[in-house]
Structures are given as C-alpha cells and as structure tokens.
Structure 1
Amino acid sequence: MKIISFGDIHEDISNFIRMKFVLEKADLIVISGDLTNCHGKTEAKKVLEAVKKYNSHLLAQYGNMDKSEVDDYLTQEGINLHGNGYVFEEVGIFGCGGSSPTPFNTPSEISEADIERYLIHGYNKVKDARWKIMVCHTPPKDTATDIIRTGAHVGSYIVREFIIKYRPDVCITGHIHESRGKDKVGSTTVLNAGMFRDGWYIEIDIDKNDISAALKSIA
C-alpha cells in the first residue's frame, strides 16, 4: 500500500498538476489539515476537487486555519479523519485536526484535552490494525517538526505523550510551516512536509513485513 500525504495547502492548488503521477500511483491520499486560508466549505471543496482529478481515494481533516464548517463538510463527504479512524486491510489510520491554542486566534483551535480525546477516539477504531498511522495537525513537542523561526518548540505535550503511550508506527503532522522535517518519538517516525506550495509531501509504503515513511520533493 502506498499513501501520499500533505497539508497546509491554504487554497494554493498549483502544485497538483506537477504531482499528477505521484497522486495517480497512490492507493490513498491523506490531507493533514489547513485546506483553506481562514475559509469554509466552498474553498475546501475546490481543494478536494483538484485532488480528485488525479485520485479519488482520499481522507482529510480540517486544520486550525479552516472554519469549523470544513469539519462538517468532510464528515458529510465520508472522508473525515478528525476524531475518526479507518482500517484498510492491515493498515489503520486515525487523526485529530484543528490545533492547540495559538497566539493568532485562528478559526479552529481546540484544547489539549480535546486533542487527547479526539486522538483516543480515533485510535480506538484502529487499535487492532497491524500498522497504525496517526495524522495530527498539531506536531508533538520537542521534535524537528515543531520549531518556529525563533528556535522555540511550540508543539503539544499531549501529542507527544500520546505517541509515547500508544506507539503508532508513523505520525503525519504539519501546522508549523517552517519546520519541515523528520524525527522519532520513541519508536514512532514523525514527519512534517511543511507548506504544500513549497513542493514537499510524505510517502508511506507498507507491505506484509514493513512500513517506511519519507519526505519527498516534487522537484
């Protein structure tokens, strides 16, 4: 199984044509959050339609820069990862969208307690899967994926503690645009592809014996 993931699109869909062959070869596309730029269903739908030109096998969740109606829309479409989980043969994928509180009063910020609650709810739907992929828009604290330009780590302690306790194989994250990177929390590989317009994405390959995850560039 091949999964292609990205997030922090913010309505800039110009890279999709350059990703045509990457998208077409995937078994599943996962959007980790921030489809829009403080907008709602109409703008989110344009992003999804742009992806579906190349691949209709899709899961997504809202990010902190998406209005709450995006969360409702993704649920109506039957593809919402937020607080939810899906199993594809031996692969379980679960997620939490929004973000922990920021200084910027963005549209969809949730508490640390809510992040934990949504993650647990999603995890419980996939806990019996052999391979588990966690998609959390908020990155775990103190990793290569949560560093802002000042050098401060602004990720979530709750997300980090959840990873340590439940040990998903891979954690896909985003939110912090300048912190594209790959790291480990315990045995879990954590990846942030950064802002989509910069041309990076995550590729996960799974077979009967192994799971691997890497950052890839369109260029």
Structure 2
Amino acid sequence: MSKKDTYWIAFGDIHQSLNLPNLIPDIDKAAGVIVTGDLTNHSPQGAVEKVWDSIYHLNPNILAQAGNMDRSNVTDFLKSKGANLHLEVRELADGIKIMGVGCSIPTPFGTPSEITEEEMAEMLAETYSRAGKYDKLILAVHDSPYNTSLDMLSNGMHVGSKSVRTFIETHQPDIVISGHIHESRGEDSIGKSRIFNPGMASGGGYVQINLSNQTLDATLKQI
C-alpha cells in the first residue's frame, strides 16, 4: 500500500478469548482496530480490561462497542478510553465515516444487553442523524440483518434483526460489519451494501477494511 492507503482490522464476538489479535498479520500496522461487540461473557470483573489489553499492546487505536453479552460497565470502560463506538459516528479518513450500534434484539438466553426491534430502529436512526455528510459509510452493528446468509442458525432459521435490515435497505451503507450469529460467518449483500460477519474471534475470522483516496473496500479473512 502507498502512504495514502490505510486499512483497519475489524472483528467481534470475542467472548473473553484473547488469542486472535496476536494471530492477525500486520495488525500493528493497521490504522486501527474495530470491535463490533461481545467483548465479554456477562462482563465479570476485570474481563473487559484483559480484552482491551490483548488488542492495545498491538494497536492502541481501538473503536469498540458492547454486544448483547456485555453489561453497561463495558460501555463505561470504552468511554473512559475514548474508544466507544456504540451510538457514535467517527471519521476514519476524509469523507469516510463509521457509525456503530451494539446490543441485539431479544434472544432465548436473556443476555444483558438486549433491546426491542423498535429500540434498535431508534438507535440506528438517531446515530445516522449524527453522520452528516459523507462520501462512504461503514456500519458496525453487532446484530446481523434479518434474512441473509449471515443470520442463520445451524437449523437454517433466520434470527437477525429486521430493523437492521430495514436500515441497510434504506440508507445503503457501503460496508456493514456485523456479528452475533457465530455459525454464520461469511459475506452477503443488500442492494449495494456489502455485509460481513467474521464469526467468533476464537474461530480466526476478521475483516480488513481498506481505505485509499476516498475509496473503500473490505475483505473477509481467516487466520
């Protein structure tokens, strides 16, 4: 890559597994690291700090958000580090912005940070309203969009968020990095939006987001 070219590394569903960052090639040379949610499993004391440290010692520029398995202390910690992405918009390069929405719609497991579809829709709309003008948009969302190859359980049932899908259909972000459904690692599209679910971090999946002269591309990778 030229000096004008940069890339970000994105993954999620860490669940307190600390190995993936050390295995990603050239993570230390990336402009930064994006974590889409589920840093912990119900956020026991000290867990988010260990996950943070596992990334920070390789690349200190981190943007992250809580998933459904994270409690509010995870968001509080990320805010204290200036790294929270949930309900926020950041500019990664000139004209290229990223917006983040964590949590998930209800699951059968009663996890700590579940919200209704209506709340998800409100969060997406409110965050997007702060995006302003942009040339390219990345959406980092913990819950995968409904009725794609990225929200299927092993029995073939689609369990993703309809609100996330509607948002993508309406606003057509260029790149979407999702997660939550561990067994549905892969890539799909809704209109012009390319959507990625790298799966659980312990499975070795991640996304490399390439930025070059106001162009944007992404590639699903596997350790």
TM-score bucket (shorter structure): over 0.9
Query: Which amino acid counterpart does residue 138 of structure 1 have in structure 2?
Result: D
More divergent stretch after superposition (37-46 vs 97-106): 37-46
Over aligned residues, Cα RMSD in angstroms? 1.3
Q: Count residues in correspondence.
A: 217
**Alpha-carbon distance change, 145 to 68 in structure 1, aligned in 2, over 3 angstroms:** same
What residue in structure 2 maps to residue 179 of structure 1? 184
Counterpart Cα distance in 2 of 1:93 and 1:56: 18
What residue in structure 1 maps to residue 86 of structure 2? 82
**Alpha-carbon distance change, 185 to 9 in structure 1, aligned in 2, over 3 angstroms:** same
What residue in structure 2 maps to residue 208 of structure 1? 213
- Deviation digits for residues 175-197 of structure 1, max 9, x if unmatched? 00000010001110000000001
Counterpart Cα distance in 1 of 2:124 and 2:44: 23
Counterpart Cα distance in 2 of 1:28 and 1:40: 26
Between the aligned residues of both structures, percent identity stands at: 39
C-alpha displacement of 1:40? 4.5
**What are the ranges of 5 or more consecutive residues in structure 1 without an aligned counterpart?**
none
Counterpart Cα distance in 2 of 1:40 and 1:123: 32
1:37 to 36, 41, 66: 41
What residue in structure 1 maps to residue 116 of structure 2? 111
Counterpart of 1:145 in 2: which secondary structure? Answer: coil
TM-score scaled to structure 2, two decimals? Answer: 0.93
1:48 to 48, 52, 56: 52
- Deviation digits for residues 75-124 of structure 1, max 9, x if unmatched? 22211111111113221111111110011101110111221222222222
Counterpart Cα distance in 2 of 1:65 and 1:8: 9
Aligned residues of 1:40 and 1:70 also touching (Cα < 8 A): no
What residue in structure 2 maps to residue 73 of structure 1? 77
Query: Which amino acid counterpart does residue 197 of structure 1 have in structure 2?
Result: S
C-alpha displacement of 1:209? 5.2
Counterpart Cα distance in 2 of 1:125 and 1:28: 22
More divergent stretch after superposition (85-94 vs 184-193): 85-94
Counterpart Cα distance in 2 of 1:115 and 1:22: 34
Structure 1 stretches of 4+ with a deviation exceeding 2 A read: 124-127
Query: Which amino acid counterpart does residue 131 of structure 2 have in structure 1?
Result: V
Counterpart Cα distance in 2 of 1:150 and 1:91: 38
Query: Which amino acid counterpart does residue 153 of structure 2 have in structure 1?
Result: I
**What are the ranges of 5 or more consecutive residues in structure 2 without an aligned counterpart?**
1-5
Counterpart Cα distance in 2 of 1:142 and 1:207: 32
